A = this chain, B = another copy of it.
Amino acid sequence: MNLDTASEQALLDLPHSVVMIEKNKSVVREGDAVSHAWLVLKGFCVRLKYVGTGGRQIVSIHMKGDLVDLQNALLGIADHTVQTLTPCKMAKLPIRAVRQLTDTNPAIKDALWHDTLVDGSIHREWVANVGRRDAPTRVAHLLCEFALKLEAVHLGEQLDYELPMTQDQLADATGLTAVHINRVLRDLEKNGLIERITPRSVLIGDWKKLAAYGDFRSDYLHLDMAKRRAQGR
């Protein structure tokens, strides 16, 4: 999550409603006029775009503490869809109240701006990932990103977690097909880069090995530097 605790609290001090949303539901649809921003309290969701031929591309994955759809809300018209992967608990914040908060509290505005800057940095890495890495590298990279993000919000061990996504959804995130994702995961396992007890579980035996294989350097996530350095990542 790119928001600091104080800013998150300030947002939650705004009048808002808390909503439970079942899995595979669109919270916001591309093209909608948007009047609310959504803060994920629990569960996983993605932002995605549909392309002409019927395909879809997931452009980011979100979890607890992420403010999704601030982008849509501030620009007025949604340029992408927000969809849940799992049942989600979300805070629904009227964009008008958010604006008022940022206008009276420059520190919050800076924090939210910073959030959009990090968001952009992650997008750039994704462009590079889907544009220039081959399939196994691309998938390994995604697994690494997911691992670090999960750990950053204390949702699990970095080296042992459950993917909240089907192979179809992994395919939409990497620009591949579900069938190929399946084969790539099998090969990653065969090559000792991950272990899988169930299809969704990921166990990373050697972080450095997987990160090297996946061409993963965590800088673009702009997570807490000191912490990562202490852990040698």
Contact = CB atoms under 8 A, between A and B. Distances in A.
A117 interface: yes
A207 to B, nearest CB: 16
Copies in the complex: 2
A59 B116 contact: no
Given A52-B137, A71-B117, A127 B132 contact: no
A132 B175 contact: yes
Q: Which 8 A-B pairs have the closest CB atoms?
A: A131-B175, A123-B123, A52-B215, A57-B128, A130-B131, A49-B128, A55-B132, A57-B132
A57 B124 CA distance: 9
A220 B71 CA distance: 11
21 contacts: A31-B219, A51-B133, A53-B137, A53-B215, A57-B128, A57-B131, A59-B124, A71-B117, A71-B120, A74-B117, A75-B118, A79-B124, A79-B125, A79-B219, A103-B106, A116-B120, A120-B123, A126-B127, A130-B131, A130-B175, A131-B174
Contacts of A162: none
Contacts of A59: 124, 127-128
A28 to B, nearest CB: 13
Contact of A57 (B31, B77, B127): B127
Contacts of A79: 121, 124-125, 219-220, 222
B222 A47 contact: no
Contacts of A55: 132-133
Query: Which among A52, A56, A118, A222 has the highest number of chain B CB atoms within 10 Å?
Result: A52
A137 B71 CA distance: 26
Interface string A34-62: 00000000000001010111011101000
